[in-house]
Each structure stands twice: as C-alpha cells, then as structure tokens.
Structure 1
C-alpha cells in the first residue's frame, strides 16, 4: 500500500464518466493530483499521496478507496458550481450508516436528538475545517426531495403513544429563565452571523447546538420539550447557513436536514418552511434550480395556513429565484409580483414575527427580486432587457442596506449584484466602483460566499473589459487584498 487511494483495478473498461468531467475541467493530471493531496491534508488524511500515474489509473478504470471518491466529488462540484455526485464520476461509494451519510433519516424524536448530537460532536472534534472527515456527500434530485416530502407526513404511532406518557408532568433540570436564555442566545448568534459572516462564530453555534441536544435527552414537560426542539432547529439551521456561507456545502445540507427534523418535532411548520427555503437557496447556488423549486413548493404547501405574510413573501421571492434560473420569465415575474404584494400585506397585518424571518426586510425583498431579474438576464444570454429591469430594484436594495449596519454581508452581496448588472449593461467603470466597495466589506466579514462572488465578478470584468484601466486596477487590488479563501472555523 502506498497510501494514495489505490483500490480495485478493473483494467478493461476506462472510466468514461470521470474522463468526461476531467476533460471539461481543464485540469492537468498533475493539477488534479495536487488538489486531491491538498484536500486530503485538510481532512486529516495525511497518508494519501497521489501523483499523475495514479490519476491516469483512475481514468483507466481503477476504483480508488475512500476518501478519494468523496474528495473528487467535492473538487468537481466546486469546479462546475453544481452537485457532481460520486456516482456521476463513475465511482463507487463505501457503505455508510444513515447517521453520517445521506438525508433519508428516521422522522422520530429520539433518533433526531441522537443524530444531532452525533453530527455536532463530530463537527466539533473530528474536522478542523468542518468537513467531518470523509463521510459526507451532497444529495440532489429525488434522493433529496423525496425524503423531505415526509416532513408533512404524521409520525406513525405518535397519537397512540401519547396516552402512555406519565400522568404527572416530567421535570428536567432546565428552568424557565434558562430556556429563555437559550432562545435569546440563538437570536444573538443570528445577529453575529448577519454582521460578521459565517466564518467567525460557526463552531460556537455548533457547540451550543450540541449542548441543547444534551438537554433534549433529559425528561421534560411536553411544552418545554417542544421549545427545546425549536431552539435545536434554529441552531441547526444557523449552523447549516454558516457552513453554506463558508463553502462547506455537504456539511450545510446535513445541518439543514437535521434542522427540518427538529422543527417537525417542535410542531413548527413556519420554521420548517424557512429551513426548506435555506435548502432551496443552497440548491440555486449549486446549479440545481429544479430541486430548489421543489423544496420551495413543499415549504409553501406545508405552511400555507400558518406562516405570516412576511414568511410567505420570502417564499415567493425564492420561488422567483428558482424560476429565473430555470429560464422561465413569465413565472418568475409572477412570483416577484406575489412577493411584493404579500410583503405589503405584512405591514398592514402587523402579525407577531419570529426572529428568524426579521431579516426579510424591504432591502432583502428588493435584493432577491433584483437578483431574479439579473439571473434571468444571464440565462437569456446576457439580455439587456432583464438587466434594465434589475437595475432600479438592485439600486434600491443597495441604498437600503447601506443604511443598515447589522447586515453587512447582505450589503456586500448586493453591491456585487449591482456590479454584475453594470457588467451586463457594458458599464465596467461603474461595476468596478461597486466591486471595490464590496471588497472593503469582504475584508471585514468572514464569508467565503462573498469572496467567491466577488472574485467571479472581477474575473468576468477582466475577461470582458481587460483593457479598461479601472478593471486592471481592481484586479490587482483584489489579488493583493483578498489573495485566498479564509479557513472555516
């Protein structure tokens, strides 16, 4: 054994799937080998030492051992901005227990607590960068959507189990003030994320989640148990969101799935719809708008009778994003109008709002709708018509976020979005000015999502307008001030 991931060598049938992705990537065999080795070191798999001859054998049909298949899946997914599963690469995955792989998990309280505890502990202890060893892979398509549909299915036997509960209310060591403190701490973590990005406090959120799962294993009155499950759901969603923000996509998806399970135990359908919207946003980011739309429709159906107008407006805005990325302008525009109309109702009704939806302000509404029009412009081949639709709405979002010190990451993302609109309109000077402002904020927040979008926007400007002095200056400035991805914590 040379520790480089050697496995079964079929010897007769080249791996055409892996070869196809490899050719499209533009990588050389040496570059792919170096990236595999670098990622393996990040995972703590220091025994792996891959070289060009080993890559050639994989292309020839050799089946590498774990963790190589999962590393290759991550690398190609990041390269193409969409989910490239192990099977898509013509590779076989090792058998794993449901606790660490996949999203089709048991919908039951004790199992949810156990899985949350195991996963958060693994995140804290086993992986310095949040990859949880080599155990995770992204799910997509029916493998993701179909298990999530069971969110709305009543738990078998739940009604029959209730009469067996003790007559006297069960008491744990958690007092009401302590429970309220847990809830307020979750609000504080959410504020930190909005201000500073996901990279600064992610492990603190995961640690708090693990503490809550310990509490959930103690006896409590039913009302207390439901509130604890709600806290666990919010913390797991936030851990997933922070993981997504720093680029840990499989880890993020796992937290989202577990958060949805906890929300089901809490009996909180609006919270469940919010978690599904986060999953939908991740699928759009990964180039899976069809999956995003399925998740949003599931969220809308599940919370249609209980979500506030603000939550429903947010779901319509995410529906518009999915339709935009699917290249369906009429459905996208309809969803945008529904988001605007429903958001207007939120101010009239003055319903009590949970803290997790308060982020969806007028600024956020404008930002989402502007990005929908911007995405339509790209899907339609850089359409100037859709870029013109996006511009005034994005300008409004930038203006509103510029007055809000609590949502600096969103401000940066919308500055970048406005820069892309100006690039679509062939206005590189205006685009570079906005991107430069975003760079200033990017250096303050710990968000790989901001960094990646900024780099991509500047790369586009350099490719299309490389002879413009402002673009050259910004490219040099970006290289000097944002040289590489910040390490997740």
Structure 2
C-alpha cells in the first residue's frame, strides 16, 4: 500500500510543484504520470539528454551499440510488434493514461534499435515496428490531451513508415495526424491532410484500409462543414469495405472496420452535420459494438447525444452523456471529457 501525505499537505505540495518551489519526488511522479497520462519529461518540464558516451572518444560505445543492433533478428522484431499489440489491447480496454510509462519505454527501445542499425535488411523491419508503435503512441497522446507529443509521434511514425517503404503505414499515420488538426480547430487543413494520406497510400493499400481512409475523410469533412464531400466519402467507404463480419485488417493490424463500425462512423458524421437520420445508424452500431472497446463505446454515446441534441431530444441526450462520462472516466480520456463538456453545455 502506498502512503501519501494528508489532504492539507497535498494542497501545499501541489501549489509548490506548480510554482517550482518543490521538486516532484519519484514517488509522487509515478502517481501523477498515471493520473495525468503524461511522460516524466512533460511532468517535470524537462527534456532528457542523450546518454553520454562512456569512452573519451566515444567510438567504443558507438561500436558496441552498432554491434548489438546487428543481433536484432526477425524474432526480436516480432517481439516488438507483439508488445505493441499488447499495449493496443490494454489501451482499448483500460485507456491510454495508465500506459504512458510502458509506451515511452517501448518507443525508446525501438528508436534505439533503429538508430544504431546499419544495413537496410536490419533497419526496415525495425522501422516497420516503430511506425506501428509510434502511431499507436500518438493516438494515445491525443486521447490524454498531450497534443504536441501526439504530433511528434505521428511525425516519427511517418518517417519510420517511409524508411520501411510501407505506404499503408504512412497513409494510416498521416490520416490519424489529421485529427490533431481537427482538434486544434483547423478542419480545413485536416481535410487536405487526410486526402494526402489517400494519395500516399495510392493503389497499394488494402480494401479495408482504403475504406477506413474514406470514413476518416467523411468525419473530417463533416467537422469542416462540407456535407456533400462527407456523403461522397461515406459512399466510397461502403464501396471499398469488404463484406462479412471480420473487422481486423490482416495487412494492417491497427485497423478495425466492418459494416457495424462503419455504421457508427456514418452516424457520427451525420450527427456532426445535424442530420436526423444519424440516430438510426448510431443505435444500429450500439447493438453490435464490441464491449471491450471502452473508448469507442464512450465515443458512440457522445455521438448519440449529439444526434439527439440535433433533434431537440434532451432527455435522451442527457442519458447518453451520463453513460459516456462514466466510460471516459474509466479510460481517463481527456479528449472525450472535453467533448462531453462541450455537449453538456448545449443541454
């Protein structure tokens, strides 16, 4: 059991931490990182410097790291990707805030492996693993409100995808990065970026990822106030999405999309446009939502609240916001809490 100071003492500590009069001890830093979903650098307001070389000229340490990187086998890359998958599962069920330390360490190991890898046959698989991990870390950072960290992780993911020569990973990272622009109040630029993502993928992306890219375009067009573009993108998403209940893309494990998910996305976009027909799509999605997708379910409840608000159905909107708030509190999603508060102000 962790012993902490009394409430009165904690109030003094918080004031002194905020004003820089007291350093944050590791005991409290560990608690605050999980509670706030921030990295240690963000919490302390510092940026870690690279570890110094131990030898006077640095060559011995450099050669040691390069030699170590040569042992990065396909088995180790597979382990890296399995770790990313495990973090993705925890994120889906528990939220991003509790994973900040694990995600930071995972990215650091991958970046180190890539930095000191020399030959392309070693670099490319590591770069691919880094592209997937960085994009997941970026979405987690966006969820906890760390927008600069999210942006930098997306840039890292894009660079890694280019080095790995993987257009699907590049398209996915670029399209998700457009959401940072949307949240920052620049939806028009976000529309351009998500369309650039489609061009980056070209004909080399899988049908399910292509449908996902069109669905993302539809949502962002709705947020930019472009109803015709939104509906056209939704039609394209339906046309490209493979039939069947399977949701996961075997060529792009971060993509989950079937007709049930797309129904939710359609309802979300139409709710943003204030269209009454959004409600039917959203309730259909609610019936089929995977209960382990806690954050997605919270988002769906927000969508339903928005759709009911557009129809002047305030009691139903209030009920969905209440349930969305409970789910968002479970995952620690700052992004969703912000949206819940914005919708609550309209009641």
Q: Which has the higher helix share?
A: 2
Which runs of structure 2 are paired with 1:88-487 in the superposition (5 Å)? Answer: 124-128=39-43, 172-219=70-117, 221-344=119-242, 352-357=250-255, 359-377=256-274, 386=275, 388-401=276-289, 404-461=290-347
Asked whether the equivalents of residues 171 and 221 of structure 1 are also in contact (C-alpha less than 8 Å), the reply is no
User: How far off is 1:251 after superposition?
Assistant: 1.5
CA displacement, residues 338-373 of structure 1 (integer Å, 9 cap, x when unaligned): 11121146879x97432111x233343222221211
User: How far off is 1:211 after superposition?
Assistant: 0.9
Asked whether the equivalents of residues 206 and 236 of structure 1 are also in contact (C-alpha less than 8 Å), the reply is no
Asked whether the equivalents of residues 206 and 235 of structure 1 are also in contact (C-alpha less than 8 Å), the reply is no
Asked whether the equivalents of residues 323 and 329 of structure 1 are also in contact (C-alpha less than 8 Å), the reply is yes
Structure 2 counterpart of 1:9: none
CA displacement, residues 14-41 of structure 1 (integer Å, 9 cap, x when unaligned): xxxxxxxxxxxxxxxxxxxxxxxx9996
Which runs of structure 2 are paired with 1:19-58 in the superposition (5 Å)? Answer: none
C-alpha distance 40-325 of structure 1, shift in aligned 2 (>3 A): farther
C-alpha distance 367-219 of structure 1, shift in aligned 2 (>3 A): same
User: How far off is 1:286 after superposition?
Assistant: 2.1
User: How far off is 1:267 after superposition?
Assistant: 0.6
Alignment partners' CA distance in 2, 1:439 and 1:389: 24
User: Aligned to 2:345, what secondary structure does the other structure show?
Assistant: helix
User: How far off is 1:263 after superposition?
Assistant: 0.8
User: How far off is 1:220 after superposition?
Assistant: 5.3
Alignment partners' CA distance in 1, 2:282 and 2:87: 28
Structure 1 counterpart of 2:11: none
CA displacement, residues 368-420 of structure 1 (integer Å, 9 cap, x when unaligned): 2212111112xxxxxxxx1x12111111222222xx13211000111111011
User: How far off is 1:325 after superposition?
Assistant: 2.2
TM-score (norm 1): 0.57
Alignment partners' CA distance in 2, 1:353 and 1:458: 40
User: How far off is 1:442 after superposition?
Assistant: 2.3
CA displacement, residues 89-132 of structure 1 (integer Å, 9 cap, x when unaligned): xxxxxxxxxxxxxxxxxxxxxxxxxxxxxxxxxx8552227x76
CA displacement, residues 22-76 of structure 1 (integer Å, 9 cap, x when unaligned): xxxxxxxxxxxxxxxx99965x7569xxxxxxxxxxxxxxxxxxxxxxxxxxxxx
Alignment partners' CA distance in 2, 1:39 and 1:196: 30
Kindly report structure 1 stretches of 4+ aligned residues shifted beyond 6 Å. Answer: none
Asked whether the equivalents of residues 310 and 346 of structure 1 are also in contact (C-alpha less than 8 Å), the reply is no
User: How far off is 1:456 after superposition?
Assistant: 2.1
Give 5+ residue unaligned stretches, structure 1: 1-37, 48-122, 134-169, 378-385, 462-489
Alignment partners' CA distance in 2, 1:342 and 1:317: 10
CA displacement, residues 225-247 of structure 1 (integer Å, 9 cap, x when unaligned): 11101111112111211110001
Alignment partners' CA distance in 2, 1:426 and 1:324: 20
CA displacement, residues 441-480 of structure 1 (integer Å, 9 cap, x when unaligned): 223212112222222222221xxxxxxxxxxxxxxxxxxx
Higher CA-based Rg: 1
User: Aligned to 1:355, what secondary structure does the other structure show?
Assistant: strand
Alignment partners' CA distance in 1, 2:337 and 2:129: 30
Asked whether the equivalents of residues 227 and 266 of structure 1 are also in contact (C-alpha less than 8 Å), the reply is yes
C-alpha distance 257-346 of structure 1, shift in aligned 2 (>3 A): farther
Alignment partners' CA distance in 1, 2:175 and 2:115: 29
Alignment partners' CA distance in 1, 2:122 and 2:207: 27
C-alpha distance 413-188 of structure 1, shift in aligned 2 (>3 A): same
User: How far off is 1:202 after superposition?
Assistant: 2.1
